[in-house]
Structure 1
Amino acid sequence: MSSVKALEMLKKVLDFSVKRGGFDHVFEKTKLVSAGDGKCVAEMVVEKQHTNAFNMLHGGFTASAIDLFSSIAVLTHPKIFEDIDEHSESGVSVDIHVKYLASAKIGDEIIINADTVKLGRNLAFLEVTMIRKADNVIIAKGAQTKFVG
């Protein structure tokens, strides 16, 4: 699958998720930058809706971003879907871990790098790194295992 085709289709997947009326609306201003071969990169600016009571990036938002963008990354893996559409499903989470390493405040630009580390017959092993763009500080690292069989 070409990375251009993957990026186009994943933008539709993200748009569908945001507009369906669920929790994913918090990702409405997240921009997919690249996608393909089991990877995706997204960027966003931290806004008030993404923060906790201390105006710092909320841990729950971070965990949700790790879940969403690793799920989007696995959709681009050639073994999963040859023809992605906006209603494609990426499997079911079996396990998710987040390491919170630094903070981000309102106005900080964030880069989200998601990667399919291994894809087996039934399980996908995924990793995500969130980086503060201004100084390349790692904000969080996440790992997720998904049932994809």
Structure 2
Amino acid sequence: MKKQLFSLALLLSLGTSFAGSSFAASTAVVGQEQRQDREHDKDKDHKRGQRGAQNKQRHLDQLAKDLDLSSKDKGKVEKIFQEQQQQMQALRSRSGADRSQAMAERKRIQESTNKKLKDVLSKKQYAQYEAKRQERQRQMADRQNDRRGNDQRNNFRRDSSRRS
């Protein structure tokens, strides 16, 4: 009887130590996966930042070409857009602000940017810039409307398939 109790106790202690070590190993694996996920997210953010910077540079280069800007004027325009971006980021970081207040601040930033651009660009260049900006806004609105239309159609299809 003592041998059986001793054997049972030994089995229980081995089973417990095995379970503990496998739990520790699985915890280590989960921790490693979480670290890899964080590193992957950092890489994605870095790449997204690089893409954003490349897109901005490409946009600036295209604008300089379209408006026939000198290298001096291109530098001035780039500085104006950088200032605008910094102001917009600061505004977004204050997410607790009232929506109407934020809209008014965005409008003020845009007006300030436009005033600075008018000082750098000729009347003809500014008119071309404004026409291109409005065209981009129209295209974005069209894309948004297309997405909303697709979403509404998909929702309708999903709802009608549920009824069937």
- After TM superposition, the score normalised by the length of structure 2 is 0.26
The structure carrying a bigger strand percent of its residues is 1
Larger CA Rg, structure 1 vs 2: 2
User: Larger RCO: Structure 1 or Structure 2 (Cα < 8 Å, ≥ 6 residues apart)?
Assistant: 1
- After TM superposition, the score normalised by the length of structure 1 is 0.28
The structure carrying a bigger helix percent of its residues is 2
